[in-house]
Amino acid sequence: MKHKVATTVNGQRREHEVEPRLLLVHYLRDVVGLTGTHIGCDTSQCGACTVTVDGKAVKSCTMFAVQAEGKSITTIEGMAAKDGTLHPLQQAFWDEHGLQCGFCTPGFIMAASYLLSQNPNPTEDEIRQGLEGNLCRCTGYVNIVKSVQSAAKAMNGSKANAGEHSAAARRS
Amino acid sequence: MAVTTMIGAKIHRREDPRLVSGEGRYVDDFTRPGCVALAVVRSPHAHALVKSIDITQAAKAPGVVAVYTHKDFVKVLSGTMPVTPSFVAEKKQSPPRFPIADKEVVYQGEPVAVVLAETKYQASDASNLIEVEYETLPAVMDLDKALEAKSPTVHSGAPDNLGWDLTYIPDDPAVMKEADVVIKVRILQQRIAPTSMETRGVLAEYSKPDGTLTVWMSSQSPHFVRLFLGGAMGIPENRLRVISPDVGGGFGAKISPYSEDWLVPAAAKLSGRPVKWIESRTESLQTTTHGRGQVFEVEAGAKKDGTLVFIKATQYLDAGAYMGTFAAFQACACLLAGGAYNWKHVAARTVGVLTNKVPTDPYRGAGRPEATHLCERAIDLLAGALKMDPAEIRRKNFITTFPHTNHFGLVFDSGAYEKALDMAMKIAGYEKLRKEQEEGRKKGKYLGIGLSSWIEICGFGPSAATAPATGGIALVESAQVRVFPTGSVAVYVGTHSHGQGHDTTFPQIVADTLGVPYDSIELRHGDTAEGPAFGYGTYGSRSLAVGGMAVHKASKKIVDKARKLAAHMFEAAEEDIAFDQGQFYVKGSPDKRKAFGEVAFASYGAGLPEGMEQGLEAVAYYDPSNFVWPFGTHIAVVEVDPETGHVDLKRYIAVDDCGNIINPMIVDGQIHGGVAQGISQALYEEVVYDNESGQMRTGTFTDYLLPSANEFPIFELGRTITPSPTNELGVKGIGEAGTIASSIAVINAICDALAPLGIKHVDMPASPDRLWKQIQEASGGSSNGKEARK
């Protein structure tokens, strides 16, 4: 038996009929067609599937699609501005070489966006603790931590400064 | 070459905008019209006979399209999974492996049936309805016991469990007698799950009318898959296309072909539907090849003054139930057992042992971390026995003249080992750390400093050495450079980038060679339908030193042709033409120039020189003259809590030398990740099987411990640059360096911390329970250094 579910994904209203057991991550990937949210484990350890639901970071493999009824979901595809300008976190991961294979990256960016929404000026330790629900196998986390620090700085500074930082960092 | 402008520059990665935007395309992001999902039914037993398989209920389940077992697959698949000679040309036993079990299963997770259904939920549901009757058999799980005469065998009817036994160099008893001190140590290299964050996955579509097969998969070496799969399915290479798109990490475990790489395309052919299978994490931990899985018996001796005399290593390698395609590559640990040092004699033997576990195969470093671990542990034990500082004994015995031919005939191309040691000690503040350690000990603080002076053989490799090792295909590399009429450039390579940043670094090389803007160059890889006829893939830190050189070589062919054409356009002799930063001119008349783009456009027109064909494109295969030999010194600083056995990794210093550098940001990133993986082996990771039942006890991330950001400090990096004389770019490799160096840096630091307790050796992972037990035993006055956990 299928259930109706109505959500807002990246600002767009979505209505579908889904199986009650359908995981949110499969809903986003297979039904809505947003494949930027990844699956890296079966047991909610890796955080690759992190999205925000009503502003709060959620591992989308731990939630059924029907539980998202009426909620607003943001995925990695919803982070950049409409004109394509990258979100400061996306820009910072690029600038600081915060990714290699890129598979865990959407989850890290989404988890970090929640972290910075709760704590705009985290210390290094707070960043490390704040991201402990996400696993990366490529970077040793060194440049992920730097990316979040750099994004925090950009988000706290004026928008003009953040833009300058990004342009200058392209080739240093 | 044009004046260097891009080589060596910190260029931000051009692959990143798509990857940070969710626009990366990994295999699970693809589908085809009418695609069905495949689920694999796997053996829950490590060793059993398959008595019967009942598919009746499953076949009737909602959405099920087909159920296939061994009897179906033999109709479309022939032969066995490939096993290469690698470093052991003759194997005593290499059990033939068909991608799906017939009458006997030999490891937990071995496929016995597959289900195809309209959705993955339905495929998963139906797979639970397949009833397989097993008769369990004794499982061979322990490496030592497997070699006993009375041991059950991994495969029914096999004579024993010996895969290979090869002595590369025997003992020299006369030399051994020259040593004043001798140490012995048994070192465990636990099984590790390589664990790329993206698991494996395969999507296959077969066109019956055309007889063509297209496979999308997560692979480090799509051309090798095409070669092997084409053989198994009887499809020639020109009708078989393997596409390895964005790949979420490999670490060596996506080189060799797997059962599912055969079963999914075969199921597509059998069913007439496109088929997709994505590995779950549990499947990955159970069935993707493991790394390490070795035990080393090591003996070494030195003179009273610290001069090294001999080292002898015996490797016992847990191969698993079948030989991995490149399993015997890991025997290269033997060939590097002498490390960075001069020894009078080095003896080495490798023994490959079959067990009822998933096969082992290369994992980041593959043999070289094990070599570094055993050698650097032996050096520290000798230093301890001689009461010498670990840095001093290293310095005294380093190889200093290059090229250096080691005892196994391998030629180290260049090195400056002492320079890297000095830099690492300077960054660490070594003398100060030793003082802190001394002070701390008085207060009951167990601070330890661990050194690891590593070397590496990489850049596989010269055809004369590698063709016999693969069974025929030389591990050279290919590249194609196409210059289009308006001057934009496409470069096709046989390597595969899955985090290494080739999309950025290879165009940096081309930009300098052709003298054209970096932004006008596009790199393409991972699709066997594009570029040269064969590519060799990415592994063994080979992409730059072999693939980068192929790109450079093809680019130079372009310049050669363009120079001829430019001479014709200038009505000058070819030898009078100068080429500088993308501009041709007649020597002595630098004011009149022709840009590379103008010449490119002309190459597609009329009036070319006599005999010159239109177009500006070139293919090159680069066959290196030698391997390349990076090196460095790492230092770990730890504090061990004797009450809990907890290790606090306080600092980590890495000084690495990989020759000339194309992009320092990417080199640093590779070191970060490599170091983290080695530390993780030293402290956290271990695949654990129940020795009685053969059940894996670490089948999810709940039980298989991967460290998070919380577990690491910021790594402190330093760099020396000693160009490689092996290739024109002077480059080596850096993909594995961190992993090769770091496990033993950490273990040496822990042993150093616990030295006051008389603890001489600690095995991996140095988890709190293992260390606590060792500390308890040592404090209780009992013998130390023994294996606390089996």
Give a yes or no: residue A83 inside a domain.
no
| Mean pLDDT, rounded, for B187-206 | 98
Does the predicted TM-score (pTM) go above 0.90?
yes
Torsion of CA B114, B117, B123, B129, to 10 degrees: -70
Question: Is the omega angle on the peptide bond into residue B17 within 30 degrees of 0, that is, cis?
Answer: no
Burial class (CB in 10 A: 0-12, 13-18, 19+), B104: middle
| Mean pLDDT, rounded, for B210-219 | 98
CB contact under 8 A, A42 and B26: no
- A116 and A138 part of one domain: yes
Q: What is the CA radius of gyration of chain B?
A: 28
Residue in the block written with tokens 């200038």? B570
Residue pairs between chains A and B whose CB atoms are closer than 8 Å: 181
Share of chain B above pLDDT 90, in %: 97
Question: Is the omega angle on the peptide bond into residue B765 within 30 degrees of 0, that is, cis?
Answer: yes
Nearest residue, CB atoms, B198 vs list A103, A127, A145:
A103
From start to end of B78-169, where are the E strands? Answer: 104-105, 111-117, 131-136, 162-169
| Mean pLDDT, rounded, for B199-215 | 98
A 4-23: CB under 8 A from B? 19, 21-22
Q: Are B313 and B149 in contact (CB under 8 A)?
A: no
Alpha-carbon gap, residue B384 to B300, rounded angstroms: 13
- A8 and A27 part of one domain: yes
**Residue B16 at interface with chain A, using a CB cutoff of 8 Å:** yes
**How much is the mean pLDDT over chain B?**
96
B 440-499: CB under 8 A from A? 498-499
Band (pLDDT 50/70/90 cuts) for residue B5 is: confident
Q: What is the DSSP string of A63-124?
A: SBGGGGTT-EEE-GGGSS-TTSPPPHHHHHHHHTT--SS-SSHHHHHHHHHHHHHH-SS--H
Q: Which residues from B are below 8 Å from A80, CB to CB?
A: 21
**Residue A24 at interface with chain B, using a CB cutoff of 8 Å:** no
pLDDT in tens, B612-629: 999 999 999 999 999 999
**Residue A40 at interface with chain B, using a CB cutoff of 8 Å:** yes
- A38 and A104 part of one domain: no
Alpha-carbon gap, residue B510 to B547, rounded angstroms: 12
Give a yes or no: residue A23 inside a domain.
yes
Does residue B782 carry a pLDDT above 80?
no
Strand partners, B48: B105, B136
Give a yes or no: residue A102 inside a domain.
yes
Q: Which residues from B are below 8 Å from A42, CB to CB?
A: 280-282, 700
**Residue B712 at interface with chain A, using a CB cutoff of 8 Å:** yes
Q: Which residues from B are below 8 Å from A103, CB to CB?
A: 24, 26, 196-198, 248-249
pLDDT in tens, B168-184: 999 999 999 999 999 99
Q: Which residues from B are below 8 Å from A48, CB to CB?
A: 197
Residue A43's identity, in one-letter code, is T
B 718-777: CB under 8 A from A? 738
Q: Choose, out of B18, B19, B203, the residue to mutate when testing the contact with A (most A CBs < 10 Å).
A: B19
Question: Encoding tokens for residue B689?
Answer: 């099987």
- A33 and A95 part of one domain: no
**How confident is the model at residue B4, as a pLDDT?**
59
Give a yes or no: residue A99 inside a domain.
yes
- A68 and A134 part of one domain: no
Q: Which residues from A are below 8 Å from B28, CB to CB?
A: 29, 35, 38-39
**How confident is the model at residue B790, as a pLDDT?**
36
Please identify every stretch of chain A with a pLDDT value under 70, giving residue numbers as ranges: 158-172
Residue A41 domain boundaries = 3-78
Alpha-carbon gap, residue B477 to B551, rounded angstroms: 9
Centre a 10 Å sphere on the Cβ of residue B692 and count the other Cβ atoms it contains: 10
Residue in the block written with tokens 């290790």? B647
Q: Could you give the domains of chain B?
A: 16-20+477-622 (3.30.365.10), 398-459+627-789 (3.30.365.10)
**Residue B155 at interface with chain A, using a CB cutoff of 8 Å:** no
- A94 and A59 part of one domain: no
- A93 and A158 part of one domain: yes
Q: How many CA atoms lie within 13 A of B77 on its CB side?
A: 27
pLDDT in tens, B486-534: 999 999 999 999 999 999 999 999 999 999 999 999 999 999 999 999 9
**Residue B644 Cα distances to B233, B637, B641, B772, B786, angstroms:** 56, 18, 6, 6, 19
Does residue B707 carry a pLDDT above 80?
yes
Contacts 24+ apart (CB under 8 A), A43-46: A43/B281, A43/B700, A43/B701, A43/B702, A45/A133, A45/A135, A45/B700, A45/B701, A45/B702, A45/B706, A46/A104, A46/A107, A46/A134, A46/A135, A46/B197, A46/B281, A46/B701
| Mean pLDDT, rounded, for B700-723 | 97
- A97 and A69 part of one domain: no
| Mean pLDDT, rounded, for B155-162 | 97
B 59-118: CB under 8 A from A? none
**How confident is the model at residue A157, as a pLDDT?**
83
Band (pLDDT 50/70/90 cuts) for residue B68 is: very high
Chain A nearest C-alpha distance from B535 (Å): 21
Of A163-167, B221-225, B473-477, the poorest mean pLDDT is in A163-167
Q: Choose, out of B5, B7, B16, the residue to mutate when testing the contact with A (most A CBs < 10 Å).
A: B16
Q: Which of A78, A106, A129 is the last residue of a domain?
A: A78
- A68 and A125 part of one domain: no
**Residue A138 at interface with chain B, using a CB cutoff of 8 Å:** yes
- What is the domain count for chain A? 2
**Residue A31 at interface with chain B, using a CB cutoff of 8 Å:** no
| Ramachandran area for residue B212 (φ above 0: left; ψ -120 to 50: alpha; else beta) | beta
**Residue A61 at interface with chain B, using a CB cutoff of 8 Å:** no
Q: Which of A50, A78, A106 is the last residue of a domain?
A: A78
Residues 6+ apart with CB under 8 A from A101: A137, A138, B196, B197, B198, B246, B247, B248, B249, B498, B499
**How confident is the model at residue A159, as a pLDDT?**
45
- A31 and A68 part of one domain: yes
Q: What is the CA radius of gyration of chain A?
A: 16
Give a yes or no: residue A126 inside a domain.
yes
**How confident is the model at residue A31, as a pLDDT?**
97
Q: Are B554 and B489 in contact (CB under 8 A)?
A: no
Chain A nearest C-alpha distance from B653 (Å): 13
Q: What is the DSSP string of A19-68?
A: -TT-BHHHIIIIIS--TTS----SSS-S-TTEEEETTEEEETTSSBGGGG
Residue B204's identity, in one-letter code, is A
Question: Encoding tokens for residue B123?
Answer: 């495929």
Q: How many residues can be counted in chain B?
A: 790
Q: Which of B632, B644, B650 is nearest to B746 (CA)?
A: B650
Give a yes or no: residue A22 inside a domain.
yes
Band (pLDDT 50/70/90 cuts) for residue B789 is: very low
- A28 and A63 part of one domain: yes
Question: Domain of A142: which CATH number?
Answer: 1.10.150.120
**How confident is the model at residue A165, as a pLDDT?**
40
Question: Domain of A28: which CATH number?
Answer: 3.10.20.30
The residue of chain B with its CA nearest to that of A81 is: B21
- A66 and A109 part of one domain: no
**How confident is the model at residue B780, as a pLDDT?**
81
Give a yes or no: residue A20 inside a domain.
yes
Q: Which of A78, A103, A123 is the last residue of a domain?
A: A78
**How confident is the model at residue B600, as a pLDDT?**
97
